[in-house]
Amino acid sequence: MSSKTIVITGASSGIGARLAELLAAEGHTLVLVARREPELHAVAGRCGPLALPVVADVTARTDIQRVVRSALERFGHIDVWVNNAGRGITRVPSELTDDDIDDMMRVNVKSVLYGTQEVLPHFKERGSGHVINVSSMLGRIPLAPFRSAYNGAKHFVNALTADFRNELRATHPGIRVSLVSPGVVRTAFGSNALHGGPDSRTLPNSQSVDEVAAVIARVVETREADVYTRPDGREMVLKYFSAEEPGA
């Protein structure tokens, strides 16, 4: 297994933090990105001297540009970019406001767009690279109405992933774009959602951060295009769309 330089957004807690620890243990060089400085530096400390923490807001393009510069200045190249940062919402669609939608698009969609766009020139110059977008099962099957605009944002992420993949396939076949779709994960995601909400750690049929991070770490190596972290994830999606009335 060759060592890679990997950027992870949303690395201060949850899936991003655990993924960083797993990849560090495998000998990879890391650039860890998040807004919360103390938490981010704590994760970097656990990952060792080859982990560079960069405090940044992934919803600001200029911050993402600074992350790319910092990574290249420190390590000379980037092999993998993991768009992991995101945030949920607890509000049914009939109650959504303009601000709700704007917030979900900014955090969940623009962060992915900015990250991918800003690292692409470097990947194109090298003729290789790998973007991994962390989506959600709700981006496939929107069965939680109280997540409303989050579901829509993750559908958008799925579309962007496919569009980037198709755009690059013809001109830069060495650049891969992967999508990973977790289900409910036992993190603070639910309690940190916009407008609060149920704690994800108390919901049924959840996965641990270890399980989900291990799947993403595998994708770093295999460069698979479309991966579900639940073993039955693909079957759940097929069942949903084969129903006469999906979601009924």
Segment 85-124, tens digit of pLDDT: 999 999 999 999 999 999 999 999 999 999 999 999 999 9
C-alpha–C-alpha distance, residues 170 and 148, integer Å? 35
181 within some domain: yes
* pLDDT for position 247: 67
95 within some domain: yes
248 within some domain: no
89 within some domain: yes
**Which of the following is catalytic: 114, 150, 228, 240?**
150
Nearest CA among 65, 73, 72 for reference residue 118: 65
Tell me phi and psi for residue 110, to 5 degrees: -65, -35
Tens digits of pLDDT across the chain (248 residues): 689 999 999 999 999 999 999 999 999 999 999 999 999 999 999 999 999 999 999 999 999 999 999 999 999 999 999 999 999 999 999 999 999 999 999 999 999 999 999 999 999 999 999 999 999 999 999 999 999 999 999 999 999 999 999 999 999 999 999 999 999 888 888 888 899 877 777 776 778 999 999 999 999 999 999 999 999 999 999 999 998 777 66
Q: Dump the DSSP string for 104-140.
A: HIIIIIIHHHHHHHHHHHHHHHHT-EEEEEE--GGGT
111 within some domain: yes
Residue span of the structural domain in which 11 resides = 5-242
CATH code for position 210: 3.40.50.720
247 within some domain: no
Catalytic-residue membership of 240: no
| Number of domains the chain is built from | 1
Question: For a pLDDT cut of 90, what percent of the chain falls above it?
Answer: 88
155 within some domain: yes
